[in-house]
Structure 1
Amino acid sequence: MQTVLTAKLKLNTTPEQFKALRTTQLAYRDSLNYVSQYAFAHGKMSNAVRLQDATYEEIRLRFHLPSQMACSVPRQVGASYKTLWTKVKNNAVHRKEGKTKKRYKGLDKAPKFISPTLTYQYKKDYTFKKEQQVSILTLEGRVIVPYTGYNKHVALIQRGAEIGASKLWYDKPKKQFYLLVSLEIETADPTPETHKQVAGVDVGMRYLAVTATMQGDCTFHSGKQIVPKANHYARLRKRLQKKGTRSATRRLVAISGRERRLKQNTNHVVSKRIVLQHPQSLIGLEHLTDIRERTKRRKGKNAKQRKANRTFSKWSFAELHSMIAYKALLHRSMAIKVDANSTSQACPKCGHTCKENRPNKGLLFVCQNCQYTLHADLVGARNIAMRTLLIRQDWRGTGLLSVRAFCVGR
């Protein structure tokens, strides 16, 4: 099985190399915006081949991009428009079903690319050299830059990992360039015999993750120390955006990314703990697609309604799931998605399901049928573990993963 990792390499540039990379980045961003305007003016086009045929020569002439970069630009714009079209179609379905009244406005005007991050193709735009050096293409030709990074990632690059495309990312506050390299490594193919243990993971705001096994073991990963900090950054950002002065804008730039890095670091820590606690296990995760639409509060006063909806959107659970998935593969485990419907309302003892099992939607679960009482988040984790166990039994009997589940990160 192939597992994809991203290696973050710090580029130690000279002033001349820094200037060349920065100029290339900005030219790439300007070409993205040019192609985006062209696609919008010609029927919001998402076909990358047609975009390349129509804009390739102009990109080379106006922005002086090398040939491979000039091909990457229309592909990136086309992919962005495809994503927006998918959101428009999904929004139309949700409006028809009464899940939302808002119309998605992502295609009302041409998408504008603000980040100067550019894409490099391996062996065409960049190659690795000996002694931890990388050759990178710029508008002025190739530059050879020394790099540093996480020792294990550097070892994978030097010892034959399959290298894919990379992104040149600029950290503006630190004025530092990083190369984000995609690596594919081979991991052992999972089998029911190698994944004898089963664990379920329930995510939430009070506890970022609660894990449970079929042996009765459980672990609570609290967000008590982290979530208030994230909320503080969100409130601060909101006040500064509302103020809108030049000093407020400078302050926004200074704190930009802090909330994101806080969440990312916390998700890394929690996912690593979960994976290390459950080696060689089949780890069940909730299938949370369209979670915002499905949990959206539509009743009550506007202020309370907006506050409740913000609460459900404060944490990046998809990022936490993806981290658990790829780390599990590296530790001979595997994560799968299971049905998340009524995991916190179904009794794990008798199976009775109703909203009244969670009085006032609190932390206490009380089954109205058999009076089984337990922590509500732990009930959710146990239900996920049992659904994962059923999938493992089907897998063991048929040799194939059930259609009710799919492997994450494959």
Structure 2
Amino acid sequence: MQTVVTAKLKLNTTPEQFKALRTTQLAYRDSLNYVSQYAFEHGKLSNAVRLQDATYEEIRLRFHLPSQMACSVPRQVGASYKALWTKVKNNAVHRKEGKTKKRYKGLDKAPKFISPTLTYQYKKDYTFKKEQQVSILTLEGRVIVPYTGYNKHVALIQRGAEIGASKLWYDKPKKQFYLLVSLAIETADPTPETHKQVAGVDVGMRYLAVTATMQGDCTFHSGKQIVPKANHSARLRKRLQKKGTRSATRRLVAISGRERRLKQNTNHVVSKRIVLQHPQSLIGLEHLTDIRERIKRRKGKNAKQRKANRTFSKWSFAELHSMIAYKALLHRSMAIKVDANSTSQACPKCGHTCKENRPNKGLLFFCQNCQYTLHADLVGARNIAMRTLLIRQDWRGTGLLSVRAFCVGR
């Protein structure tokens, strides 16, 4: 079984190499927007082959991209349009079922690519050399650049790990290039005998994660330290955007990504703690796909409602799930998705399920049938753990895992 991780390599460029890489990035972005506009004008095409046949020559002539990059551009645009079409179709289903009244507008105009990040194909656009150097393709030819990175990732590259595509990412505030390389690592195939324990993980905004096992163990991972810093960042951005001066713009660039990095670091810490607390376990995660479509947002324009909507829109549960998934595989565990329906409204003792079990949607769970009382997030984690146990028992009895393992790598 393979696990995919992403190695972040810092490129130590000369001024000439920096200029060549930056020029290549901007040309790649311009070609993405050209193909996106073409796809929109021709029926919102998502077929990468048809896009490549129609735009390949123009990409080579107008933007001077090398052949492999000129092939990568239509693929990336086609994949973006496919994702948008999926959202449009899902939104139509949700509107028909009455789950939402809002129409998805992602394809009302041609998607615009803002980030200049470009994709490199291994052994075609870039290759690794000796002494921690990498050969990268630019518009002016190949450049050989020294790199540094996390010691374990560098060791995997040098010892012949399976290397995939990479992305050239530019950190604008620091004016630094990074190469994000996909590495496939072999891990042991999971079996019911190797995953003897089960654990359930309930994610939320009051507590980033609450874990529970069938032995009664539980852990609460709070996210309270993030909230005041996130609110401060929002207020600071608002003041600087309102000011609008050149110095305010420079300050906005300097602080951009700070809140994102804070949340990412917190998710890394929480996911590592969860995985280390449950070795050789089957870890159940909630299947929260399209949750923003299913949950009604607060209406109104007062400060309290805007703050609540901002906090909800920045809930990074998917990132936390993906981190738990790939770290679990590296520590001989495995994460799977289980049904998230009514996990915090069902009583883990008698099974009674109703909305009244959570008075005022608060942190207290009170069963209307058997009067069982517990923390609502812990109830959710225990229900997830029980559903994970049922999947494991079925896996042990049939030899087949009835759900797809959640193995998203970074």
Asked if these proteins are the same fold (TM beyond 0.5), I'd say: yes
Residues 233 and 129 of structure 1: CA distance in aligned 2, closer, same or farther (over 3 Å): same
| Helix, strand or coil at the partner of 1:343 | coil
Greater shift after overlay, 326-335 or 37-46? 37-46
Residues 240 and 291 of structure 1: CA distance in aligned 2, closer, same or farther (over 3 Å): farther
Distance in 2 between residues matched to 1:406 and 1:342, nearest whole Å: 21
Greater shift after overlay, 322-331 or 225-234? 225-234
- The reply on whether 1:216 has 2:216 as its aligned counterpart is yes
Residues 62 and 153 of structure 1: CA distance in aligned 2, closer, same or farther (over 3 Å): same
String of CA shifts for 1:89-136, please: whole Å, max 9, x gaps.
122222222222222221122111111111000000000011111000
Residues 68 and 407 of structure 1: CA distance in aligned 2, closer, same or farther (over 3 Å): closer
How far has the Cα of 1:58 moved from its partner? 1.0
How far has the Cα of 1:237 moved from its partner? 3.0
Confirm or deny: 8 A CA contact 1:335 1:408 kept in the other structure. Answer: no
| Helix, strand or coil at the partner of 2:345 | coil
How far has the Cα of 1:40 moved from its partner? 1.4
String of CA shifts for 1:180-237, please: whole Å, max 9, x gaps.
0001111000000000011000111111101111111111101111122123223433
Identical aligned residues as a percent: 98
Confirm or deny: 8 A CA contact 2:348 2:382 kept in the other structure. Answer: yes
Confirm or deny: 8 A CA contact 1:198 1:282 kept in the other structure. Answer: yes
String of CA shifts for 1:271-327, please: whole Å, max 9, x gaps.
000000000000000010111122224778887665544443332000000000000
Distance in 2 between residues matched to 1:301 and 1:137, nearest whole Å: 50
Confirm or deny: 8 A CA contact 2:337 2:403 kept in the other structure. Answer: no
Distance in 2 between residues matched to 1:121 and 1:247, nearest whole Å: 39
Q: What are structure 2's unaligned runs of at least 5 residues?
A: none
How many aligned positions are there?
410
Distance in 2 between residues matched to 1:318 and 1:241, nearest whole Å: 29
How far has the Cα of 1:401 moved from its partner? 1.2
Confirm or deny: 8 A CA contact 2:210 2:381 kept in the other structure. Answer: yes
How far has the Cα of 1:56 moved from its partner? 0.8
Greater shift after overlay, 288-297 or 20-29? 288-297
Confirm or deny: 8 A CA contact 1:136 1:143 kept in the other structure. Answer: yes
How far has the Cα of 1:15 moved from its partner? 1.0
| Helix, strand or coil at the partner of 1:407 | coil
String of CA shifts for 1:145-188, please: whole Å, max 9, x gaps.
11000011011111111100000001111111000000111100
Confirm or deny: 8 A CA contact 1:336 1:408 kept in the other structure. Answer: no
Distance in 2 between residues matched to 1:4 and 1:406, nearest whole Å: 12
Residues 103 and 302 of structure 1: CA distance in aligned 2, closer, same or farther (over 3 Å): farther
Distance in 1 between residues matched to 2:253 and 2:193, nearest whole Å: 52
How far has the Cα of 1:343 moved from its partner? 0.8
Confirm or deny: 8 A CA contact 1:127 1:136 kept in the other structure. Answer: yes
How far has the Cα of 1:241 moved from its partner? 4.2
Confirm or deny: 8 A CA contact 2:120 2:165 kept in the other structure. Answer: yes
Instruction: Give the TM-score, by structure 2 length.
Output: 0.95
Residues 129 and 6 of structure 1: CA distance in aligned 2, closer, same or farther (over 3 Å): same
Which position in structure 1 is the counterpart of 2:368?
A: 368
Residues 406 and 139 of structure 1: CA distance in aligned 2, closer, same or farther (over 3 Å): closer
String of CA shifts for 1:23-61, please: whole Å, max 9, x gaps.
111111111111111111212111111111111111111
How far has the Cα of 1:251 moved from its partner? 3.0
Confirm or deny: 8 A CA contact 2:298 2:308 kept in the other structure. Answer: no
Residues 21 and 278 of structure 1: CA distance in aligned 2, closer, same or farther (over 3 Å): same
Greater shift after overlay, 309-318 or 149-158? 309-318
Instruction: Give the TM-score, by structure 1 length.
Output: 0.95
Greater shift after overlay, 395-404 or 382-391? 395-404
String of CA shifts for 1:318-366, please: whole Å, max 9, x gaps.
0000000000000000000111111111111111111121121111111
Residues 13 and 300 of structure 1: CA distance in aligned 2, closer, same or farther (over 3 Å): closer
Residues 145 and 221 of structure 1: CA distance in aligned 2, closer, same or farther (over 3 Å): same
How far has the Cα of 1:405 moved from its partner? 7.3
Distance in 1 between residues matched to 2:109 and 2:344, nearest whole Å: 41
Distance in 1 between residues matched to 2:35 and 2:301, nearest whole Å: 43
Greater shift after overlay, 150-159 or 245-254? 245-254
Distance in 2 between residues matched to 1:113 and 1:282, nearest whole Å: 39
String of CA shifts for 1:385-407, please: whole Å, max 9, x gaps.
11101110000001111248766
| Helix, strand or coil at the partner of 1:35 | helix
Confirm or deny: 8 A CA contact 1:234 1:259 kept in the other structure. Answer: no
Greater shift after overlay, 37-46 or 245-254? 245-254
| Helix, strand or coil at the partner of 1:320 | helix
Which position in structure 2 is the counterpart of 1:303?
A: 303
Confirm or deny: 8 A CA contact 2:322 2:407 kept in the other structure. Answer: no
Q: How does 1:11-410 map to 2 (within 5 A)?
A: 11-241=11-241, 244=244, 246-297=246-297, 307-403=307-403
Greater shift after overlay, 295-304 or 187-196? 295-304
How far has the Cα of 1:250 moved from its partner? 3.1
Q: What are structure 1's unaligned runs of at least 5 residues?
A: none
Confirm or deny: 8 A CA contact 2:345 2:358 kept in the other structure. Answer: yes
Distance in 1 between residues matched to 2:248 and 2:106, nearest whole Å: 27
RMSD of equivalent CA atoms: 2.0
